[in-house]
Amino acid sequence: MNFDILIIGGGPAGITLAKYLPEKLKIGIIEKGDLKYNNKINLNDYGYCSKYGNYPFENYATNFSSVNYFGGNSLVWSGWSIPFDPNEASAWPIPYSELNKYYRAAEKFLNLKSFEKLNNENYEEYKKFETDEWKINSWQFVKKKNFNFFANTFKNNVKIFLKSEFKKFYFEENKVEGVVIDTPKEKNKIINSKYVVLAQGGLQSTKSLLLCERDQKKNMGNENGHLGKFYMEHPHINLGFFYDNKKAFKDKFLKKDFKLEGLFLKNPYTEKIINGCVTFNTESLLLNKDALRLLYMLRVKRFPKNILANYKSYDFIKNLIKGTYDLFLEKIQNKKFIYARFEQKPNINSYMEIDKNDKINLNWDISETDIDSFIEITNKVQNYIKNKISEKVFIDDAIYDKVNWHEKYKPLVLGIGHHMGTTMMSNNNKKGVVNENLQLHHRQNIFICSSSVFPTGGVAHPTFTICALAIRLAEFLSRKFS
C-alpha cells in the first residue's frame, strides 16, 4: 500500500493538514482510536509526572490530556482560541507577518471572527479598563469543537485507518520509506509513503522519535541532543480573589457569544517579566479539582479508567457538594477569583523521556526565572485591581514565598495539556529538532505537526496556532508535488 503523505494521528493537527492537502494526492491517516471514545483504547496509563502535571489529579498532564480518538484532544477541548502576540513569536523562525497569514486561514477554517476586528470592536466597550500596563484582548470559542465531524467530509483520496497503532518507522538502508502499524486485522503491516507527518500531539510525537532512536538505533531528531528537551506548559494559578461590591465589572469579563475578555500585558519581556494574562472567574467551582474531573467525564461521555485511582468516591461527591454550596455564597458576595495563565521560558531542565516500559516520564520544571515572572505579574495584577476595582484584594501570600514555592504550588498548578517545546523549531540545525517548515533537520521526508514544535510558549492556547501551522505545512507539502 503506497501513499504520497501519511499522517500519524487523527487529532486537530492531522485533520486540518489532510483537509488542506490537494485532492490529487493519496493521503493516509493512522489513528489509534475509533470514531467513538473507547475505554479499552484509552487506558489512561501513558506515563508519569515526576514534578508538576499532577493537578487536578495524578499524572493528568501525561494521561488524560492525550485522547486516542478520531478528533483527538478536541473531544475534551473547551474551544479556547487566540493567536500569538507578535512579541511572543519574535523568536520563531517564521516571520510573524507570514504566521498571521495562516491565522487568517485558521479563522475561516474554524468559523471564527477576525481577531483583529473583534479586538477593535471591543476597544470602545473596554477602553476604561485599559491602563499603561494592561490591555484587553478576546478569546474566541470554536462552536463546533469536536473535529470528529470531519470524518465524513474527506474525499476518496484520503484513507483513514481506525484502531490502528503506529509501531515504528520502516527503513530501507537508512531512509524512511514508510511506517509499520498494527490494524484490527493485521499486525506489523507495512505502509509505504513519500512523506510521513507525526501529528500525534505534543508528547506522543516526541515519544515516537525517542522510541525510534532507542529501539531501531536510528537517529530521528536528536542529533544535537535537544529531542524531548525544553518542555513548556501554561501554568494556571488561582492568585486570590476580591469583592466587586461596586459592580464595576457588571456583565464584563464573562464568557458570552462564544468570546471572553481578559487582561494581557502591554509590554511583556521587560525586567523579570516573561508574559502572562488574567481572567476573572465568577465562581471557584471551575477551579475545583473534582469539578474538573466531572467536566472531563461529561465531555467523553464515559467513566474513564483511572480517573478516580487512589481516590475515594466519597471525597469526590463531598467536594462537588461543597463547591456547589460555595458557588451560592460567592454569587451573593460578588466574589471574583483572579485566575492567571503564565508563560514559561524554554528550559533544558524541563523535559520528557521514555522509561523501560515505554511510559512517558514528564519532568515538567518551573524555574526560578519563571517564578520571578509570576511574582512580578501578580504585583501588577494586584495594583490594577486596587486602582480600578476594589481596594481590598486577597492574594495568596504563597506566591511570594520563593523558598517554599515548589512545595506549596506543586499540588495547585494546573497543567491542562498544552504540551510545547519538545521538538522545538529552529532555522539552525544545531538547535531544536525541526526547521521552519516543520521538517526534521536531518531527515528530508519526516515532519512534525504539533505544539511540540513551538520555540516559545506565550500565553495563547495552542490549538488555534496548531491549525495555522497545519495549513502552512499543507501548502509546503503541496509544492513538493506541484
Residue 28, C-alpha cell as written in the block: 493516509
Q: How confident is the model at residue 271 (pLDDT cuts 50, 70, 90)?
A: confident
Decide if pLDDT at 117 tops 80. yes
Decide if pLDDT at 125 tops 90. no
Percentage of residues of the chain with pLDDT beyond 70: 100
Predicted confidence (pLDDT) per residue in 294-337, tens digit: 999 999 999 999 999 888 999 999 999 999 999 888 888 889 99
Alpha helices in 344-455 (DSSP H): 368-388, 405-409
Q: Average pLDDT in the 455-482 region? A: 96
| CATH top-level class of 2-481 | alpha beta
> Under a CB-based contact definition with an 8 Å cutoff, are residues 260 and 252 in contact?
no
Q: How confident is the model at residue 286 (pLDDT cuts 50, 70, 90)?
A: confident
Q: Indicate the domain borders of the chain.
A: 2-481
Predicted confidence (pLDDT) per residue in 67-87, tens digit: 999 999 999 999 999 999 999
pLDDT of residue 248: 78
| Alpha-carbon span 148 to 256, nearest angstrom | 25
| Alpha-carbon span 81 to 95, nearest angstrom | 21
Low-confidence winner among 100-104, 389-393, 417-421 (lowest mean pLDDT): 389-393
Decide if pLDDT at 246 tops 80. no
> Under a CB-based contact definition with an 8 Å cutoff, are residues 93 and 436 in contact?
yes
Surface-to-core class of residue 196, CB atoms within 10 Å of its CB (0-12 exposed, 13-18 middle, 19+ buried): buried
What 3-state DSSP class applies to 447?
A: strand
- How many other CB atoms are there within 10 angstroms of residue 51's CB atom? 16
| Alpha-carbon span 351 to 62, nearest angstrom | 12
Per the prediction, the chain carries an average pLDDT of 94
Residue 36, C-alpha cell as written in the block: 467513538
| Alpha-carbon span 409 to 349, nearest angstrom | 18
Q: How confident is the model at residue 244 (pLDDT cuts 50, 70, 90)?
A: confident
Residue 340, C-alpha cell as written in the block: 492567571
pLDDT of residue 390: 86
Name residue, grid cell 469539578.
Answer: 291
**DSSP string for 173-237:** TTEEEEEEEE-SS-SSEEEEEEEEEE-S-TTHHHHHHHHHHHHS---SS-TTS-TT-S-B---EE
End-to-end, the C-alpha distance of the chain in Å comes to: 22
> Under a CB-based contact definition with an 8 Å cutoff, are residues 93 and 123 in contact?
no
| Alpha-carbon span 11 to 451, nearest angstrom | 12
| Alpha-carbon span 397 to 460, nearest angstrom | 27
